[in-house]
Amino acid sequence: MTTLSATGARRTSPLIVLLHTITFRQARQFVPLVIGIAATVGYRGGTTTVVALVVGVTVLSLVTALITWWRFSYTDGPSSVVVTRGLLSRSERTVPNDRIRGVEVEAPALHRVFGLVRVRIDAAAGGLTRKDHDEELVVDGVTRAEGDRLRISVLTHRSTGAPVADHAEAPEPAEVEFARFDNRWLLYAPLVGSYLALPLAAAGALYRVIDDLRNSLLPQLAGPFLRDPRSLGLLAAVALVLLLVGSVVGAALVNWGFRLVRRGGSLIAVRGLITRRHTELEIDRIRGATVTAGLGMRLVAAARTNALVTGLGDAGRRGQLLPLGPRSEAWRLARRLVEDPGPLTTHPPAARRRRLTRALFPGIVVTVAGLIATAADGWWELLVAGPALVAMGVPAGLGRYAALGHATGPRSFAVRSGWLVQEHALLQRRAVVGWRVRQTLFQRRAGLATVVACVGAGSGGYAAVDLGAGDIAAFTAAASESWAATLSRPAS
């Protein structure tokens, strides 16, 4: 592969054919068909049929993998990256180097066995296509050395705009460690919704498998066993423990050995136990950071930190600077990237009334419906649920109000909101590409308004909810550049 010139088309490693054969990567689409055939033919043939099926599927998989490998090539030229593929309809995608926002090198477990990596070249465009996976070039199955060469080549071409000879790589600058994951932090995982969802998803998949087998193979558990309250309680306890352990294991799989280092102008995050991920973020493109913490995480002073990077696809995962950790660590990282504008200003009392009203409203509706139902039908269950909802609404409303805050500093500003998941966003002044002020009928009567800083990074907009209507012009002027004065300056 080294004999090819820098502009010549390159191929992925032939080993990838083997890997994709094993995993049925391309052949997966035929699986329903094969199952259908198997179902009609039946298993009456015994071993012969099974062997024939296995051989057939493997050959099919080998052929598809071979064709994919044969028709796939990529070129990292001085001005763009081109990926060509497809058997009948050839597709050739060209991504100019100046649109490439980042390169990710990942090594799933099987890839590591073969010494291969998968390179994702992220070329997210403007705001509208953020979720679009087509904005990504995937080169699957190159050697580790070639993967690193591709990453460095693409990133150097982009920053200098000039062709760089393959072998003349600049020596890698010294690394500065920003953060290192402490395995004790994995214990926070059961308090984070997304990690709790991991074992649930696994359980769901397992259930589907068991559901297929149930009639023939599973022992008969139902019956007297499930009616005994003690065994039911035991079952629930076991499920709970499994859930907790599963979330910790899930978090460990994803975040094992997390390390964040600065190398030259980039932040590099490496993590993962089975799949090693290597994400590179350009410091120049960082516009802000968020520190988020759910209800449970706040109880134990834990938080997570994300960087807001312009034009980064899949920002929630790739922008992670600290997937899980103590709040102090999360803040230390965030402050290292963005200047902290100082303590937050609380929002006016009208905002508290509005938060409370909104939190209590569903409970009140249910209570009224319950009153009607009780009077009309004697159906009292709703009447019990209503006041309970109202009672829960009080802490929710007060908590939501307590979360609200904003602050402006000389070079940055901050907004905070959310109760179940609280998000504190620190943003640079230059990050703002627009202001959106929204006022509903109710906000108009309460003298409030919500102002959203439109940012070309992260989720796209960060809101200061229920600001006093009179404070908006001052806040926007202090949090962005001179053009924001248009909001208050009389028409010329």
Partner 1 sequence: MPTLPPPVREPAWPLSRSAIGLWVTEGVLGTLVIGLAAAVFLLVVPASVGGPVPVLRWLLPGLALAYAVLAIGVRPWVRFRVHHWEVTGEAVYTLTGWLTRTWLLVPISRIQTVDVTRGVLQQLFGLASVSVLTASSAGTVHVPHLAVDVAQRVADDLAHRAEQVRDQAT
Residues at the interface with partner 1 (CB under 8 A): 126-128, 130, 310-311, 430-431, 433-441, 444-445, 447, 449, 451-452, 454-457, 460-461, 467, 469-470, 472-473, 476, 481-484, 486-492
Rank residues 322 and 451 by Cβ distance to partner 1 and give the closer one: 451
Which CB atom, from 66 or from 487, has the smaller least distance to partner 1?
A: 487
Tell which residue, 140, 151, 134, 147, has the closest CA to residue 73: 140
At its nearest, how many Å lie between partner 1 and the CB of residue 284?
9
- What is the separation of C-alpha 125 from the centre of its chain, rounded to a whole number of angstroms? 18
| For partner 1, the closer CB: 207 or 379 | 379
In the three-class reduction of DSSP (H, G, I as helix; E, B as strand; rest coil), residue 240 is classed as: helix
Of 68 and 310, which CB lies nearer to partner 1 in the complex structure? 310
CB-wise, 28 or 430, nearer to partner 1? Answer: 430
Q: Which is nearer to partner 1, 321 or 451 (CB)?
A: 451
Angstrom distance (rounded) from CA 5 to CA 165:
9
Q: Which residues pair with 240 in a beta bridge?
A: none
Sequence-separated (6 or more) residues with CB below 8 Å from residue 196 = 189, 190, 243, 247
Q: CB-wise, 194 or 439, nearer to partner 1?
A: 439
Closest contact distance (angstroms) between CB of 464 and partner 1 is 12
Q: Alpha-carbon distance 407 to 340, whole Å? A: 9
Q: How far is the CB of 124 from partner 1 (least distance, A)?
A: 10
Q: Which residues are registered as beta bridge partners of 82?
A: 75, 94
CB of 104 to partner 1, least distance (A): 21
> Which residue, 311 or 325, is less far from partner 1 as judged by CB?
311
Task: Report the nearest approach of partner 1 to the CB of residue 147 (Å).
Answer: 29
CB of 290 to partner 1, least distance (A): 15
CB atoms within 10 A of CB 158: 19
Q: Is the dihedral of CA 486, 458, 452, 404 positive or negative?
A: negative
> Rounded distance, CA 216 to CA 221, Å?
13
Tell me the pairing of strands 412-417 and 80-85. unpaired
- Taking the complex as a whole, the smallest distance from the CB of residue 222 to partner 1 amounts, in Å, to 38
Q: Minimum CB separation from partner 1 for residue 312, in Å?
A: 11
Give least dist CB 457 to partner 1, A: 8
- Give the rounded distance of the alpha carbon of 179 from its chain centre: 19
Q: Which residues contact 103 (CB under 8 A, 6 or more apart)?
A: 119, 120, 121, 122, 150, 151, 154, 155, 280
- Looking at the Cβ atoms of 195 and 413, the one nearer to partner 1 is 413
* Whole-angstrom distance, CA of residue 312 vs CA of residue 396: 33
CB neighbour list of residue 165: distance below 8 Å, 6 or more residues apart:
6
Shortest distance, CB of residue 351 to partner 1, whole angstroms? 13
Classify burial at 393, counting beta carbons within 10 Å of its beta carbon; exposed 0-12, middle 13-18, buried 19 or more: buried
Select 175 or 481, whichever has its Cβ closest to partner 1.
Answer: 481
Instruction: Give the max Cα distance, the chain.
Output: 87
Minimum gap (Å) between residue 139 Cβ and partner 1: 27
> What residue ranges in 50-126 does DSSP mark as E strands?
73-76, 80-85, 91-96, 102-107, 116-122
- Residue 28 or 445 with smaller CB distance to partner 1: 445
Query: Using CA atoms, how far apart are residues 207 and 97, in angstroms rounded to an integer?
Result: 46
Among 451, 359, 346, which residue's Cα sits nearest to residue 398? 359
Please calculate the CA angle 34-35-41 and round it to the nearest 5 degrees.
Answer: 90
